[in-house]
Chain A
Amino acid sequence: MSAPATLEFDSVTKRYPGAAAPVIADLSLEVPAGEICVLVGPSGCGKTTAMRMVNRMVDLTSGDIRIGGTSVRDRPPAQLRREIGYVIQQVGLFPHQTVADNVATVPRLLGWPRDRVRARVAELLELVGLDPALGDRYPAQLSGGQRQREGVARALACDPPLMLMDEPFGAIDPINRERLQNEFLRLQARLRTTVVFVTHDIDEAIKMGDRIAVMQTGGRLAQYATPAELLVAPADPFVEDFVGADRALKRLSLLRVRDVDLWRPPLVRAGEPSAAARARAAESEVPYPLLVDDDGRPLGWLSERDLARPVVVPPADSAPDPIIDADDVLRDALAELLQAGTQYAPVVDPRGAVLGVLSVEIVSDLLAAGSTAQERPGDRVQDRR
Chain B
Amino acid sequence: MTALVAQLEIHDRGPDTEQSCVASDGFCPGWIVDHIDRYLHPLWQHVYLSLISVACGFLIAFALAVLAHRRRWLVGPIVGITGVLYTLPSIAVFFLLQPITGRGALTAIIALTAYTLLILFRNIVAGLENVPADAVDAARGMGLTDRQVLWRVELPLAVPEIVAGLRIAATTTVGLATLAFFAGAGGLGGEIFAQITFKSNVVVAGGLCLALAVAFDVALLLAQRLLTPWRTAGTARA
Contact of A94 among B139, B143, B228, B234 (CB under 8 A): B139
Q: Which residues on A sit within 8 Å (CB–CB) of B238? A: 131, 134, 137, 141-143, 146
B11 contacts A by Cβ under 8 Å: no
Q: Contact check, A91 vs B142: say whether CB atoms are below 8 A apart.
A: no
Among listed B17-25, B42-50, B130-138, B205-213, interface-contacting one: B130-138
Q: Which residue of A lies closest to B159 (CB)?
A: A96
Q: Which residues on B sit within 8 Å (CB–CB) of A96? A: 153, 156-157, 228, 230
A9 contacts B by Cβ under 8 Å: no
Q: Which residues on B sit within 8 Å (CB–CB) of A134? A: 238
**Complex Cα gap A303–B129 (Å):** 73
Q: Contact check, A106 vs B135: say whether CB atoms are below 8 A apart.
A: no
Q: Among residues 195 to 238 in chain B, which have CB atoms less than 8 Å away from a CB atom of chain A?
A: 228, 230, 233-238
In the complex, which range does the number of interface residues on chain B fall in? 20 to 34
Q: Which residue of B lies closest to A92 (CB)?
A: B138
Q: Contact check, A81 vs B143: say whether CB atoms are below 8 A apart.
A: yes
A138 contacts B by Cβ under 8 Å: yes
Q: Contacts A137-B233, A141-B238 hold; do A106 and B157 have CB atoms under 8 A apart?
A: no
**Complex Cα gap A143–B134 (Å):** 17
Among listed A82-90, A284-292, A332-340, interface-contacting one: A82-90
Q: Contact check, B142 vs A88: say whether CB atoms are below 8 A apart.
A: no
Q: Which residue of B lies closest to A146 (CB)?
A: B238
Q: Among residues 62 to 108 in chain A, which have CB atoms less than 8 Å away from a CB atom of chain B?
A: 77-83, 86, 88, 90-98, 105-106
Distance to closest chain B CB from A51 (angstroms) = 10
Distance to closest chain A CB from B220 (angstroms) = 18
Q: Contact check, B236 vs A86: say whether CB atoms are below 8 A apart.
A: no
Q: Which residues on B sit within 8 Å (CB–CB) of A138? A: 230, 233
Q: Contact check, A86 vs B230: say whether CB atoms are below 8 A apart.
A: no
Proximity bits, B127-171, A CB within 8 Å = 1, else 0: 000001011111111111100100011001100000000000000
Proximity bits, B185-197, A CB within 8 Å = 1, else 0: 0000000000000
Distance to closest chain B CB from A7 (angstroms) = 16
Distance to closest chain B CB from A172 (angstroms) = 14
Q: Which residue of B lies closest to A157 (CB)?
A: B142
Q: Which residues on A sit within 8 Å (CB–CB) of B145? A: 78
Q: Contact check, B143 vs A140: say whether CB atoms are below 8 A apart.
A: no
A109 contacts B by Cβ under 8 Å: yes
A57 contacts B by Cβ under 8 Å: yes
Q: Which residues on A sit within 8 Å (CB–CB) of B236? A: 141
Q: Which residues on B sit within 8 Å (CB–CB) of A98? A: 230
Select the residue from B135, B141, B144, B157 with max chain A CB neighbours within 10 A. Answer: B141
Distance to closest chain A CB from B186 (angstroms) = 41
Q: Contact check, A106 vs B143: say whether CB atoms are below 8 A apart.
A: yes
Q: Contact check, B153 vs A90: say whether CB atoms are below 8 A apart.
A: no
Q: Contact check, A109 vs B233: say whether CB atoms are below 8 A apart.
A: no
**Complex Cα gap A96–B229 (Å):** 8
**Complex Cα gap A131–B152 (Å):** 26
Q: Which residues on B sit within 8 Å (CB–CB) of A105? A: 139, 142, 144
Q: Which residue of A lies closest to B137 (CB)?
A: A92
Q: Contact check, B144 vs A140: say whether CB atoms are below 8 A apart.
A: no
Q: Contact check, B142 vs A106: say whether CB atoms are below 8 A apart.
A: yes
Distance to closest chain A CB from B93 (angstroms) = 39
Distance to closest chain B CB from A148 (angstroms) = 13
Distance to closest chain B CB from A316 (angstroms) = 45
Q: Which residue of B lies closest to A142 (CB)?
A: B238
**Complex Cα gap A92–B237 (Å):** 18
Contact of A86 among B132, B142, B152, B153 (CB under 8 A): B142
Q: Contact check, A90 vs B143: say whether CB atoms are below 8 A apart.
A: no
**Complex Cα gap A98–B152 (Å):** 13
Q: Contact check, B134 vs A88: say whether CB atoms are below 8 A apart.
A: yes
**Complex Cα gap A105–B132 (Å):** 17
A55 contacts B by Cβ under 8 Å: yes
Q: Contact check, B143 vs A88: say whether CB atoms are below 8 A apart.
A: no
Distance to closest chain B CB from A106 (angstroms) = 5
22 contacts between A and B (CB under 8 A): A55-B141, A57-B137, A77-B143, A78-B144, A78-B145, A81-B142, A88-B137, A88-B141, A90-B134, A91-B134, A92-B134, A93-B138, A94-B157, A95-B157, A96-B153, A96-B230, A106-B143, A109-B144, A141-B238, A142-B237, A142-B238, A146-B238
Q: Which residues of B contact A (CB under 8 A)?
A: 132, 134-145, 148, 152-153, 156-157, 228, 230, 233-238
Q: Which residues of A contact B (CB under 8 A)?
A: 55, 57, 77-83, 86, 88, 90-98, 105-106, 109, 131, 134, 137-138, 140-143, 146, 151, 154-155, 164
The 3 closest A-B pairs by CB, nearest first: A92-B138, A82-B143, A81-B143
Q: A92-B139, A96-B228 are in contact. List 7 more A-B contacts (CB 8 A).
A: A81-B143, A86-B142, A94-B157, A95-B157, A131-B238, A138-B233, A140-B235
